[in-house]
Amino acid sequence: MDYRNLGRTGCAVSTLTLGTMTFGKETDEHAAHEQLDAFFEAGGNLVDTADVYTTGVSEEVVGHWLAQRPADVRDRAVVATKGRFPMGDDVNDLGLSRRHLQRALDASLRRLGVDCVDLYQVHSWDPVTPLEETLATLDDMVRAGKVRYVGLSNYTGWQVQKTMALAERHGWHAPVTLQPQYNLLVRELEWEIVPSCLDAGLGLLPWSPLGGGWLTGKYTRDQRPTGATRLGENPERGVEAYDRRSAQQRTWDVVDAVREVADGRGASMAQVALAWLADRPAVTSVILGARTSEQLADNLGAAGLYLDADETARLDAASDPGAADYPYGGPGIAQRGRTVDRSQ
């Protein structure tokens, strides 16, 4: 397992993160603890959860595991959680207000059984709460010793830039990471979000790295999903999502390219997709979302897989989202007429 700094911090985290969204729902506590044990035995140390995952049960499962492990294992764990979405019916039980975030963090700390969380992330943008209120609250949490670092999740490029500029202006502890959806089928964030993060020094923690199962090869052109798959277990929404993705030729170009690289390497398609993503600019750690120990074991095989330039180029070409010439593709307005000789 390789390690990278968490954004601009000195905290080292594994290039693969164990996501826990399935804990307490698709993965029971015993199986979840097996996954956590296997992840740490493989050298992983970053665990990502959220209060809204199974309405707090995921955090409780992680907390029980931490409490039952020896001190050296607990000390290795870098725990990340998130707050933003409703955990109840009260009108103030959601958003990024000071009131909600303070209560949400305290509840997360109780469920996790810790005094301080390593990374506290706001789960998405809040268009109602003033950004100053949110950032001041996060800064207070760090100064109070309840949070070591703060991060963002599901922010756009302009939201990242506004957040970082405001934090710098007031001298508040600025976010160090962004958690976005990112994979070979979802690359549009490379147009503005990734450049924003590179400019601000934020590390990316991509979720859904396997595209909801598409990049594992489990879906085919001629058969809609059924049964124990992400799409098959929800027939109505699953079929709609399958039909929408399946109708795009680019989907099958990507799947075929991943399969070809995997066959050439003697690796699984999931390992190839994860290895490609872990090597993208700004990526700190890729969040694994395995439902079973078998899936996790396969995913962890990506830790020692490094694609060569030809393999990467093959995947890049097949997955190119096809930016229009303006404003993201081609020379653009900013480059027109720039003929200055910079060789001297």
Is the separation of the CB atoms in 52 and 87 below 8 Å? yes
Structure tokens given for 331: 């020379």
Among 64, 242, 46, 228, smallest CA distance to 148 is for: 46
Active site residue 53: yes
Is the separation of the CB atoms in 315 and 184 below 8 Å? yes
Among 263, 319, 288, smallest CA distance to 210 is for: 288
Q: Which of 3, 53, 155, 242 is catalytic?
A: 53
Determine the length of the chain. 344
Q: In what order do the strands lie in the sheet with 46-48?
A: 203-204, 177-179, 147-153, 117-122, 78-83, 46-48, 16-19, 286-288
Quote the DSSP letter at residue 59. H
Outline where the chain has alpha helix (H).
29-41, 57-68, 71-76, 98-112, 131-143, 157-170, 193-200, 235-246, 249-265, 269-278, 293-300, 309-319, 332-335
Q: Which residues are catalytic?
A: 53
